[in-house]
Structure 1
Amino acid sequence: MTELRPLAPADRDLVRRFLALRWGSATVMLDGRAIDAAALPGYIGLDGNGVAALATLLDEAGHSEIVTLDAVRPQSGLGTALVELAAQRARALGLGRLLARTTNDNLDALRFYQRRGFRLHRLAPGAIDREREADPAIPLLGRHGIPLRDEISLIRPLG
């Protein structure tokens, strides 16, 4: 079983390499801001093959946001465990909500988050089109051949 633990400063290079492999870069665009996800707090799980699970988090006024969430082995329970650790951390910081974002093509993420207590919060039509102007490497087509255009925010109250 993979044990999850908080990220430590010594993990940053490993996290940066992992995010580059899984996401293409450690830089994530959020509302037009370039965020270095490898510099954020979060949780990591290591196994004999390296990083098995990772979540990076961004704390802002009243909420914590899941910036990246990866479980290398789908349906292993690690993604759910990471979400629960993020929720516990946000509560401990006195934050009332946990946010997540995904793109219009990521039907698996929409299902995953909703099954873990998140509700649809905000649709940002054309958000990915605007981010593509800053980063032309963002593909035009996403999963299942769906045009990659919009961003969907989900929210989980932590009351």
Structure 2
Amino acid sequence: MGAIEVRPAAPHDHDDVAALHRREWGGPHVVVHDTRYDLRALPTLVAVDGAGHFAGALAHRLADGGLEVVSLAATAPGLGAGRALLAAAEAVAVAAGADRLWLVTTNDNLSALRFYQRRGLRIVAVHAGAVNRARQLKPTIPYLGEDDIPLHDELLLERRLTGTAR
């Protein structure tokens, strides 16, 4: 596959990013911390492999003193796209003077919890019932998540960044 390169999304990435968001989230909208986001409206980084093939995308926003990763998905696990995208998001955060990188995942997403914690993010809050509330804004959110774990709660993870202006 070759090395992963990360760059800002370009217009020619639209179809690949849209297909990834359909696969992961059922379309371009996600609901997190009681807010509905249109991923198409957020700055997006894309990962491409050594052959130039699309390998993943990360949508983000600068808010609350940090960079929030609103969506991170790879086309296939274990190839390094997620790791490269997260590192690139950290570089964007540092360049913007943000003091933390943060995100929300759900209680069922054990593979994401493992991935993020191995990269230094820590669980700093649990928002019980947040996914239940999110279904009011996006009724297509399933009731069972990965491994048939009931899907109810959001977990906030963050990593404090060093060497920033703050």
Q: Could you say whether these structures have the same fold, taking a TM-score greater than 0.5 normalized by the shorter chain as the test? A: yes
Q: 2:108 aligns with which of 102, 105, 109?
A: 105
Q: Could you list the per-position Cα deviations for residues 22-45 of structure 1 after superposition, in whole angstroms to 9, with x for gaps in the alignment? A: 220111112222111122112112
Give the letter for the 2:22 counterpart: A
| Equivalence for 1:3 | 5
Q: Percent identity?
A: 42
Structure 1 position 133, deviation (Å):
2.1
Quote the Cα distance in structure 2 between the aligned partners of 1:49 and 1:27.
27
Are the structure 2 counterparts of residues 96 and 9 from structure 1 closer, same or farther at C-alpha, using a change threshold of 3 Å? farther
Q: Which moved more, 1:75-84 or 1:2-11?
A: 2-11
**CA offsets, 1:85-107, max 9 Å, x none?**
00011000000000011100001
Question: Unpaired runs of 5+ in structure 1?
Answer: none
Structure with higher RCO (Cα < 8 A, 6+ apart): 2
Evaluate the alpha carbon distance shift between residue 17 and residue 76 of structure 1 in structure 2; reply closer, same or farther with a 3 A threshold: closer
Aligned positions of 1:69-148 closer than 5 A? 69-148=72-151
- Most deviating of 104-113 and 42-51: 42-51
4+ runs of 1 displaced by more than 4 Å?
47-50
Q: 2:124 is aligned with what amino acid?
A: H
Aligned to 1:128, what secondary structure does the other structure show?
helix
Unaligned segments of structure 2, at least 5 residues? none
Alpha-carbon RMSD across the aligned residues, in angstroms, is 1.8
